[in-house]
Structure 1
Amino acid sequence: MIVITGASGQLGRLVIAQLLQTVPASQIVAAVRSPEKVADLAAKGVQVRHADYSQPATLDSAFAGAEKILLISSSEVGQRVAQHQAVIDAARRAAVKLLAYTSVLHAPTSALGLAEEHRQTEAALAQSGVPAVLLRNGWYHENYTAGIAGDLAHGAHFGSAGEGRISSAARADYAAAAVAVLTAQDDQAGSVYELAGDSPYTLREFADQVSRQAGKPVVYTDLSQADYRAALLQAGLPEFVAELLSDSDAAAAKGALFDDARQLSRLIGRPTTPLSASIEQALAG
């Protein structure tokens, strides 16, 4: 039995959709905070169980009978370490054979502010004795394509990544990597995968690609980290989001989102989704 935590989220849903292609629905558990949000999965025969990272008591029943668990990192930045620890502890009690964790690219050395909670989670896993595999995911194409409508409206893509190269891939590519590990015949415990897209680009090149495909001018406007943060606040984003995005861009300028080892495409057995394809999909609405 394979348990997917955070199964109602975008990545979790993609993982389950791909698992259903090879694994019987009855052997898949969608562990979610709000079961009513995945009624469609229940209708397909997927087991739906209540699981809240912040309510450890829910995790034991959610993981009952589990052989493998995919711990999709919590979206609640600042609370992740305690939440992930609760999952790790429950996985240990359930005596699972494998826990796969979605960490971040080059976690031990990453300049991303987001990386610290991932580093602490990786350390907790190492200390737990739970057989684990680390899926160190790079950036998603969708982190940028989600804002294309705004870019077109302003005729500009704002950021503070300079000429830093970004090795992003589509969210579905990372889902495919998780599925490959969860369904692998060989033992994955102890493996570490640095997962990133095949074709790195700068944000200037991203803006150029959007401009070409949309037939409208979009220029990359590079700001200092402080000015980018201020612009995001002025646009109405919450302070923690503005801090996260500006920090991530500043880290990207230093190479934090770059990787050219192509472990992701090797793991999934195909090239990663081109950025151009994700832009096309976003423009199609």
Structure 2
Amino acid sequence: MAIVVTGATGHFGRLVVESLLERGVPAGDILATGRSTERLTELQARGVRTAVLDFDAPADGVLSAGDVLLLVSASEVGQRARQHQNVIDAAVRAGVSTIAYTSLLDAAESDLILAPEHKVTEEALQASGLPVTILRNGWYTENFEPALAQAQATGAVLGSTAGGRISAAPRADFAEAAAVVLTTEGHQGKVYELAGDNSFTLDDLATAFGDVLNTEVSHRDVDADTHREMLAAAGLADGLVGFLVAVDQSTAQGALESSSTDLSQLIGRPTEPLATTVQGWSPSRAA
């Protein structure tokens, strides 16, 4: 058997593998998968097993009886329910021992544009008959990293969140929680609402950016229509404009705020604060 991590070529999956290694899991007991193993060569050099697992193709021959599987949600919005079902079906056929899935905060009730595919996947997992753990990940602080370059160029953070609060944490904290669930007992059947300990607003984000840039950064909060017009005028594609405005509107309604302490309890420490995470960014990297 192995601990199998899907999407290990992506930011989150790679961090989960690193967390597993840090927790003392033998490299040979980890199977890191992705659409191509070319981006996993550094892990291979450290003894981690690798394999191709494409969400658009059956995963038969990759998974084995008794495996512990982390299904990291796919990145192609609009295709994920189907892609996740491919992996779930293969897991059932292989007889894996358990599946943990990276879902979305409050997925069953959330009005976030991303929620429906996560809800469908959770339902498919429950219908699979396999032991399941749901990791409902909140917002990654790194989702705001591209805005640092914008703040440097314009002196402002643009949004239409109407002061909505965001209980974000860095990917590494969520990845560590996944590693805990994959390597310890007592998590089957659990649904964890994972969120940062200290929520923040875009005002707070602007302040953090100002500290990094050593200049004043303001938060420009506008209505949804104005936000949409400004993003379009900046040259963003229609689909991305719609997505960003929809997320901000849901944020205004509280979709990204949570009082849950599941994340800090799983990792055994407080989640990393916004200011600490932002201090590790640079405008050139965010551009």
Normalised to the residue count of structure 1, the TM-score between the two structures is: 0.95
CA contact (8 A) 1:5 1:31 kept: yes
Q: CA deviation at 1:189?
A: 1.4
2:219 partner SS: strand
Q: 1:49 aligns with which of 31, 36, 51?
A: 51
CA gap of 1:75–1:66, structure 2 versus 1, over 3 A, is farther
Q: Which residue of 1 aligns with 2:25?
A: 23
Aligned residue pairs total: 282
**Structure 1 residue 97 and structure 2 residue 97: aligned?**
yes
Alignment partner, residue 205 of structure 1: 204
- Separation in 1 of the partners of 2:263 and 2:186? 18
User: What code does the residue aligned with 2:174 have?
Assistant: Y
Q: Report whether the alignment pairs 1:63 with 2:39.
A: no
Match of 1:108 in 2: 108
Name the counterpart of 1:39: 41
Sequence identity percentage: 45
Cα distance in 2 for residues equivalent to 1:98 and 1:228: 43
> What secondary structure does 2:60 align onto?
helix
1:120-131 aligned within 5 A: 120-131=120-131
* CA deviation after TM superposition for structure 1 residue 260, in Å: 1.4
Query: Matches of residues 273-284 of structure 1 in structure 2 within 5 Å?
Result: 273-283=272-282
Taking the aligned partners of 2:248 and 2:102, their CA distance within structure 1 comes to 21
Residue 60 of structure 1 aligns to a residue in which SS?
Answer: coil
Structure 1, residues 150-199: CA drift from partner, whole Å, max 9, x if none? 21111001111111110000110000010010001x23211000000000
Task: Write the mapping of 1:214-233 to structure 2, written as runs, cut at 5 A.
Answer: 214-233=213-232
- Which runs of 5 or more structure 1 residues have no equivalent in the other structure? none
Task: Give the C-alpha shift of residue 65 in structure 1.
Answer: 4.6
Q: Which residue of 2 aligns with 1:251?
A: 250
Task: In structure 1, give the amino acid aligned to 2:178.
Answer: A
Cα contact 2:105–2:193 (8 A) shared by 1: yes
Q: 1:3 touches 1:66 (CA, 8 Å); kept in 2? A: no
Shift of 1:224: 1.8
Q: State the partner residue of 2:235.
A: 236
Residues in 2 aligned to 1:259 and 1:52: alpha-carbon distance in whole angstroms:
33
Offset of 1:5 from its aligned partner? 0.2
2:174 is the counterpart of 1:174: yes
Separation in 2, partners of 1:189, 1:182: 10
Q: Which runs of 5+ in 2 are unaligned?
A: none
Amino acid at match of 1:68: V
Please name the residue that 2:7 is paired with.
Answer: 6
1:88 aligns with 2:80: no
Task: Give the C-alpha shift of residue 213 in structure 1.
Answer: 3.5
- Matching residue's letter, 2:205: F
How big is the shift at 1:226?
2.8
Structure 1 runs of 4+ off > 4 angstroms?
A: none
Measure how far apart 1:45 and its partner are: 0.9
Structure 2 counterpart of 1:30, one-letter code: A
8 A contact 2:192–2:262 mirrored in 1: yes
Distance in structure 2 (CA, Å) of the matches to 1:94 and 1:233: 47
- Tell me, in whole angstroms, the C-alpha distance in 1 between the residues paired with 2:116 and 2:224: 19
Q: Which amino acid aligns with 1:252?
A: T
Q: Deviations over 1:4-37 (max 9, x none)?
A: 0000000011111111121111110111101111
Task: Give the distance between the partners of 1:27 and 1:239, measured in 2 at CA.
Answer: 44
AA of the residue aligned to 2:38: E
Map of 1:195 onto structure 2: 194
> TM-score of the superposition, structure 2-length normalised?
0.95
Amino acid at match of 1:192: V
Deviation, 1:235, is: 2.3
CA deviation profile, 1:220-245 (whole Å, cap 9, x unmatched): 11122232233223323332222221
User: What is the CA-CA distance between 1:66 and the residue it aligns to?
Assistant: 5.1
Instruction: Report how far residue 94 of structure 1 moved.
Output: 1.3
